[in-house]
Amino acid sequence: MRSILASKPIIIFSILAFILSSCSSIKKTRRPVYGNNGGGVTQPTTLTVKRLGPYVMEKPDKGDVDKYSVMMGVRKSDIRNGRLYSFIDDWMGTPYKFGGLDKDGVDCSGFVYRLQQEVYDIDNMPRSTNLQVNFIKRKYEEDLKEGDLVFFDFDGKQFSHVGVYLQNGYVVHASTRKGVMIIKLKDPYMYKYFSRAGSVMVEREGETESSGG
């Protein structure tokens, strides 16, 4: 009994020391900044995905041209990728579902996975957001082109959300509240979580090219 009682102060001290050291670590940890200023964060080695064959862009439907040129404030002649806007129109409003990958419900990375597969013929795009970020060549915001990926840090989690850049500052993504939708990248709510963006790097027949625009 004495040995047990004698060990109690040691056990209590060890627990307190662990708690205090953990809190200290949390307080000293600063969330890195991944926006255009870089924040001193090193870009990981960019990996490549594979395209099934030469990319063929299809002419868009007139209805899609009229609809999305007005929605994004661009010229009708700027809506050129029929496969992209047909895909978006087909998925628009699909509800959010964590782990979902179909029209019954889809999450952000699942939507990007399906878009890259069906629009850009990407054969092996990773399914999860934290892996997809390793397959982009990082860009500044002002250099983004249609088809580039944009990442956000929600709830303090690095690269926890992803969308696809379109034109004129607009992004399509699977929102947890409204499902698949198009928003402004500089939407007051979204933009403060903007983390990183870039082009998907595609390897085909030994050559590396950029997916999308």
Cα(91)–Cα(86) distance, integer angstroms: 9
23 is catalytic: no
The catalytic residue among 83, 114, 139, 161 is: 161
In contact, 62 and 136? CB cutoff 8 Å? no
Cα(78)–Cα(149) distance, integer angstroms: 19
In contact, 151 and 195? CB cutoff 8 Å? yes
173 is catalytic: yes
166 is catalytic: no
Residue 17: other Cβ atoms inside 10 A: 10
The catalytic residue among 106, 173, 179, 212 is: 173
The catalytic residue among 49, 106, 108, 133 is: 108
In contact, 207 and 51? CB cutoff 8 Å? no
Active site members:
108, 161, 173
